[in-house]
Amino acid sequence: MGGQVYCELTSPDGQLWHFGDPDSPSVITGPAGDFCRVGARRIAPADSALTATGPHAAEALAVLRNYAF
């Protein structure tokens, strides 16, 4: 994967969480819960309310993983 991805996620209480460089050409937006579920492989990106735009966002969602410690 190459390229930066900016994420703007909505927390459960409605706050916006921002991660990455806002000038990145690739952007993922949507509910933080869906982002976590995609990373945990509970749902597919296509079945979520996430929006992936730009040249690297869909690829970033495809390789997203959450790991428990």
Answer yes or no: pTM beyond 0.85. yes
The DSSP H or E segment spanning 62 is helix 57-63
Q: What are the helix and strand counts (H, E) for the chain?
A: 2, 4
The answer to whether 45 and 29 have CB atoms below 8 angstroms apart is: no
**Predicted confidence (pLDDT) per residue in 9-46, tens digit:** 999 999 999 999 999 999 999 999 999 999 999 999 99
Model confidence pLDDT, tens digit, residues 40-63: 999 999 999 999 999 999 999 999
SS3 60: helix
- Cβ-in-10-Å burial (0-12, 13-18, 19+) of 22 comes to exposed
